[in-house]
Amino acid sequence: MEPVIRNYRSVYQSGGAAVKLISLDDHPTTCTLTYSVIEPGQSSAHHLHPWEHEVYILEGSGVLVCDGQEYPIREGDGLFIPGNVDHYTRNTQPSGVIRRLEVNPLMASQRSDARQQGAQGTGQPPVIRNYRDLDMHVGHVLLKGTDGVPTAVMLYNGAMVPGAISHADTGGHIHAWEHLVYVVQGAGTLVCEGKSYPVTEGDGVLVPPQVRHQWKNETQEPMLRVTFNAVLSEAHEG
């Protein structure tokens, strides 16, 4: 199987609605990946639903409102918003947008029982963790199973330096879960089953399960990625 690679610039129109970088039509097994922009003074949809959201803030700052409680957010934050919590994100800046990624379990695209304008939810607070607060010598997991995430963990991959190759000794690796990846900065190459695919900043990538793959940075600049894996992957992390 080949990966899906889709850049937000090919589907997003300035000032427009959120767009799917990875949708149900791409046959993901765990979740979908959405790109959206919130203009100054504006908010995301205000709603409540049974499924959770995970969000990564690519740019900007503002507040996440959950059951009436405000939580400050900024670039580099990974957010876990539990299901059945009334929520929305507001851009509180006088200028400058919030750009964000949103990862939803498949049921979010398969069901239509979200309640607009929300209602009082469970009151469960979100988890908010910035990549700057991670000790990259210990781990690069922004959101994990012990945070309560039921579907996907969120990884901040950090800088893949020029010339770096993942799993160079084995020519890649293979596992039962898919990767959803967003290239935050730079460019590189994704190799799947021996075939090379160029990737660049703004790409959303679906690496199917059971496909041998590796990443290469053959450029002169670092490449940064955020990755979403099924929670079952945690049991196999060394």
Percent pLDDT > 70 in the chain is 97
Q: What SS3 state is found at 32?
A: strand
The per-residue pLDDT for 138 is 62
- 71 vs 116 pLDDT, higher one: 71
Residues 49, 105: contact at Cβ < 8 Å?
Answer: no
- Whether the model clears a pTM of 0.85, i.e. scores above it, the answer is yes
Average pLDDT score, the chain: 94
- pLDDT tens across 19-51, in order? 999 999 999 999 999 999 999 999 999 999 999
Model confidence at 237, pLDDT cuts 50, 70, 90, reads: low
What is the homologous superfamily of the domain 141-236 according to CATH?
Jelly Rolls (2.60.120.10)
DSSP letters for 152-166: EEEEEEEEE-TT-BT
Per-domain residue ranges of the chain: 6-109, 141-236
State the pairing for strand pair 195-200/98-105: unpaired
- pLDDT tens across 114-164, in order? 777 767 899 999 999 999 999 877 669 999 999 999 999 999 998 999 999
Six-digit token string for 231: 């929670």
Model confidence at 1, pLDDT cuts 50, 70, 90, reads: confident
Q: 141-236: same fold as 6-109?
A: yes
What is the rounded distance in angstroms from the CA atom of residue 136 to the CA atom of residue 176? 25
The per-residue pLDDT for 176 is 93
Contacts (Cβ under 8 Å, ≥6 apart) of 130: 74, 76, 77, 78
Question: Residue 182's beta-bridge partner residues?
Answer: 204, 226
Q: Smallest Cα–Cα separation from 206: which of 82, 41, 21?
A: 21
Query: How far is the CA of 29 from the CAs of 77, 83, 107, 191, in angstroms?
Result: 25, 20, 11, 20
Tell me, which fold does domain 6-109 have in CATH?
A: Jelly Rolls (2.60.120)
Q: What mean pLDDT is predicted for residues 175-180? A: 94
